Structure 1
């Protein structure tokens, strides 16, 4: 077992290009990502994965294609080894040594964990995970909190998460903003503070969603270099600007609701402007449209 694994951890938060990143990294010969895209093990273990269909080998055409891309070949033994380790963790108490075994199929390749829920980790949870964070490159994808909020709520509207309600109505939007379980995703400045306090100010890398949108190839080059992979080993087949979630229909709340959300985030946007400089100031100065 490689006792330095994982090599990197991306802590999200949700709707900040984590899926784009995972898709892109699978197209590098010296990067291996786990069959479960969002492990979320460090934030609560594996009980949520127990008994799920993806905890066993699947043989549909789509799953085989995904396996070939991820493993740069058939990858049957690698996936089986991962699933054995994952199955063991799903039936055990929190086990950091076991968590490391999830990355053993990577061999000599770079491997890591891209889990948006890590942005919600509390200080005690970060402290508990420190033994596997010591050698990992840890980075955050930072997005305008207001835009991220609307993107996440739009996702729930598409899925019908809260039933047949008007997801753009003020009471629903307010309830989503006030939900204590979601506040740790809403407030980007708190995420940065929690993680910097937990791992050290200088260890948290920050990349900006706006930069990914503006120049996806340069952003991807930066990430690939940061996690210790070789850009020259990137495979053809997926343009850096390709995002399979791009173009999905978003909510269209009325101007009063948009202004209200912008006001609710007012203090947070001021904190982001102080914390992130030019990027944060641009978020603060964006009109609520």
Structure 2
């Protein structure tokens, strides 16, 4: 289970695992069963409808976009996922993965970073062999990437300036999703020693091959098999992004001063230098 961070490289991780021959990953990247159940049913329905209406054409398009081809077990998963109702239990969630067979599988939902300790404890108790991954990113860059995503969607109006930064930070849930130190602390405390691994977005940028190797080793998968996707493939590389100016950087850094300090203390590694990074 990858529980964060939003805008921390989780799409890259999903793409790499989905095409690894030792994994069967769900045909939906983010299931949101524990933080927003039912919110992805419409997306699942769209995937299923496309697959049923034109199976060969849909898989051809998936191959062109470097996505894993759908099999019958994927359609079974989608039907079961769509059928989940409000109040679905952790056992209903576990049953979704019945089709994985002997292959490894998982759920990459950054939204699980905001779960409260009792919910996390329940997950850890039900899945005692669960491996948990957290992809950490400089809070300044992570916040700016999230703001850019909202701009592309049209959720934010006006110019991307320091005022927009403060407005976005004041939105409900934004700061909660930005507290990576809190999320890491909660998940680390809930799972057995050796079952939680923290990785850095910095390493994804600098050396994705080594990062992928480390993650696969943690998950008990072979890092040496052929994976039909470039290790540095970034599905979002062509998305429009607004340049971060010095004023914007300073405004975000001010908002996250305490979080930057907490990450440096708790994470070590790259996090020690996040606060002093230049634009």
| Cα distance between partner residues in 1 of 2:214 and 2:25 | 18
2:142 equivalent to 1:148: yes
Specify the alignment match of 1:78 in structure 2.
73
- For residues 248 and 215 of structure 1, the distance between their equivalents in structure 2, rounded to whole angstroms, comes to 22
Greater percentage in strand: 1
**CA separation in 2, counterparts of 1:127 and 1:175?**
34
Look up the match of 1:16: 8
1:186-234 CA-partner distances (Å, limit 9, x unpaired):
1211111222233356532101111111110111111112112222333
Residue 266 in structure 1 maps to residue 257 in structure 2: yes
State the shift of 1:88 in Å. Answer: 2.6
Conservation of the 8 A alpha-carbon contact between 2:16 and 2:227: no
After superposition, the CA RMSD in angstroms is: 2.3
Q: Distance in 2 between matches of 1:172 and 1:62?
A: 42
Aligned-partner SS, 1:48: coil
Structure 2 equivalent of residue 195 of structure 1 = 187
2:241 to 232, 237, 250: 250
Alpha-carbon separation, structure 2, partners of 1:250 and 1:16: 16
Listed as ranges, the gaps of 5+ residues in structure 1 are: 1-8
Q: How does 1:41-56 map to 2 (within 5 A)?
A: 41-45=33-37, 47-52=38-43, 53-54=45-46, 56=48
Give the alignment's TM-score, normalised by structure 1.
0.85
Can you list the C-alpha shifts for 1:3-46, whole angstroms capped at 9, x where unaligned? xxxxxx0111111111111111122111111011111112232x
Contact 1:141–1:208 (CA<8 Å) still a contact in 2? yes
Distance 1:66 1:244 in 2: 15
**How many equivalent residue pairs?**
273
The residue aligned with 1:284 is: 275
Deviation at 1:65, TM superposition (A): 3.7
Partners of 2:273 and 2:125 lie apart in 1 by 37
Alpha-carbon distance in structure 2 between the residues aligned to 1:67 and 1:106: 20
Give unmatched runs, 5+ long, in structure 2: none
TM-score normalized by the length of structure 2 = 0.88
**Aligned-residue offset at 1:66:** 6.7
